[in-house]
């Protein structure tokens, strides 16, 4: 089956896999509740000029700037922002001028309620680009504010910065099962059989 139209009506799941100090990625964990997500490519253009006129131009996307708003677990926020409790009393965490968040893989499941289908999305090489943030604080609220995070999805080892799979189009159940917990290039790469 080839899906020709996908209208996102909901986000059912988001996952995150943080890069460990040894350079490998830990197992994916629940990112929390996502309210909105959007991404926009940053491009680099090459132009051929004839005097002051542009006669040819090609643009290549070099990264995707992603913005996500949601309610995320405390430990996910601490890893994302790079907070630490090193040399601090139990329960105390800090962020400072040398704080660097962990790199990560970000995955999302978008839902199409019209056709009853799901789209798996992955950003394979991400880094916080928005710095440290605190959820807006307000007394006596009726709705809890979402935290807005901005990060860049950079090219992975295969020079790709975005992957997607519509579940109805997939033939590998392992791919769907492991998308959020174990996403990697190896999970999605076609292995040629001899």
- Strand ranges, E, within 80-146: 104-112, 117-128
Report pTM.
0.90
What are the residues whose beta carbons fall under 8 Å from the beta carbon of 5, sequence distance 6 or more? 115
Q: What is the pLDDT along the chain (194 residues), one digit of tens a residue?
A: 677 778 788 898 999 999 999 999 999 999 999 999 999 999 999 999 999 999 999 999 999 999 999 999 999 999 999 999 999 999 999 999 989 999 999 999 999 888 888 999 999 999 999 888 888 788 887 888 889 999 999 999 999 999 999 999 999 999 999 999 999 999 999 888 77
- Using alpha carbons, select from 102, 105, 88 the residue that is nearest to residue 29: 105
Between CA 86 and CA 100 the distance in angstroms is: 14
Do residues 134 and 157 make contact, with C-beta atoms less than 8 angstroms apart?
Answer: no
């Amino acid at each position: 089956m080839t899906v020709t139209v996908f209208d996102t009506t909901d986000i059912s799941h988001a996952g995150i896999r943080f890069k460990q100090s040894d350079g490998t990625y830990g197992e994916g964990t629940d990112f929390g509740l996502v309210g909105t997500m959007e991404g926009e490519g940053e491009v680099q253009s090459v132009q051929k000029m004839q005097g002051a006129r542009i006669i040819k131009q090609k643009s290549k996307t070099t990264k995707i700037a992603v913005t996500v708003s949601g309610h995320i677990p405390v430990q996910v926020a601490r890893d994302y922002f790079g907070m630490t409790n090193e040399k601090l009393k139990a329960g105390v965490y800090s962020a400072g001028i040398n704080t660097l968040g962990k790199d990560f893989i970000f995955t999302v499941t978008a839902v199409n309620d019209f056709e009853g289908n799901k789209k798996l999305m992955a950003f394979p090489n991400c880094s916080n680009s928005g710095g440290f943030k605190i959820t807006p604080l307000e007394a006596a609220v009726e709705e809890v504010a979402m935290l807005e995070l901005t990060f860049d999805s950079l090219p992975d080892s295969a020079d790709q910065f975005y992957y997607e799979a519509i579940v109805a189009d997939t033939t590998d159940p392992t791919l769907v099962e492991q998308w959020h917990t174990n996403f990697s290039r190896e999970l999605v790469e076609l292995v040629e059989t001899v």
